Amino acid sequence: MYKKLSLSNYEKERLKHYTNTALSRFELSHSFKINKMKNSHFIYSLSKIVNDTQELKRSVIENEAIQFHKINPAYVLLKNNEICNTFTEFDYDFNIFLSNYEKDYELF
């Protein structure tokens, strides 16, 4: 889910510049070898930082500036020598997030 943003003239000009001339996509990818328990804490911490930073939840859809209500983390699992792409629904309550993560982990 997301909401449309109402932008000032200044912000509209910046948006026009970044969507038409600049590379404005942000992605971060890095490999980590960590165990299951540390992995869930790490994914939660990164997800919380992203969800606390309003600018990282913004995007453009059909020339409309939007802001997502929540960003769910997507990641790669290696389990029993098999690789799987998945995501976990983010929740600010760590115990709920951990429960969601464990359910997703057990699916694979």
Q: Number of structural domains, the chain? A: 1
- Residues 30-84 have pLDDT tens digits of 666 656 556 788 889 999 999 999 888 888 888 788 899 999 998 887 778 888 8
Q: What pLDDT score was predicted for residue 62?
A: 82
For every residue of 43-107, DSSP letters joined together read HHHHHHHHHH-GGGGEEEETTEEEEES----EEEEEETTEEEEEE----SSHHHHHHHHHHHHHT
Supply the CATH number for residue 23's domain. Answer: 3.30.559.10
Which is more confidently placed, 89 or 40? 89
Q: What is the pTM of this model?
A: 0.74
Q: What is the pLDDT of residue 33?
A: 64
pLDDT of residue 53: 92
